[in-house]
Amino acid sequence: MIASSASAHLREGVILLHGLARTSASMEKMEAALIEDGYLVANINYPSRTAEISRLAEDTISAALQNETLRDCPRIHFVTHSLGGILVRSYFSKHTEPRLGRVVMLSPPNHGSEVVDNLKSWTLFQKLNGPSGSELGTDPDSTPNQLGAVDFELGVIAGDRFINWINSLMIPGKDDGKVSVEHTKVEGITDHIVIHATHPYLMKNPRAIRQTLAFLRTGQFVHE
């Protein structure tokens, strides 16, 4: 019994961060798969529409790293959807964490989204997405484009299917209805893969989940 308890304390942890205007419920399928694979998981709910990205990152990630579930984990990974990935980039552009492991980002707007460029001046867009949503444009001064290269192990999963064809028309190249495949990339990236999935459901896609588990284990995706 003592040996089993000690072993449990050495399990690695994962912090899950949902996307803009979503909740932790959107990450529950990913959470279940990670737990089944042996990880301790903190599926974080944060108020994505209430503040600017830098404030959300500071408040959300600093608290998540102190989560009781992860207290004894020697290594903590991140799995994020959309805006959640930009929070990770924002936080670790200013902070270091000795327990930081690998990061998997699902469709992150790492160089912004043309959808935001076209709609951020609309009152309805601002009401639905808050201050953080308006920061996700593609211009050089947008928050994602000001954060620079990453210096941690990062795997990015992009989607190339869309539901909203109007949004897709705003985006050059292949896209998932919100972010182009090309704009999910970022300087310093470790690995990148594209799967047939849409932005709203990428984190629930079985292949995306399998690829996430592969990257957390090995630092690489399975390129079939």
Domain ranges (residues) in the chain: 2-217
Q: Has residue 7 got a pLDDT over 70?
A: no
pLDDT, position 8: 45
**Residue 189 to residue 198: CA distance in whole angstroms:** 22
Fold adopted by 2-217: Rossmann fold (3.40.50)
Q: Coil, strand, or helix at residue 119? A: helix
Q: Has residue 9 got a pLDDT over 80?
A: no
pTM of the model: 0.93
Provide mean pLDDT across the span 146-165. Answer: 94
pLDDT, position 2: 37
Stretch (H or E) spanning 10:
none
Provide mean pLDDT across the span 51-72. Answer: 97
CA 72 to chain CA centroid, Å, is 23
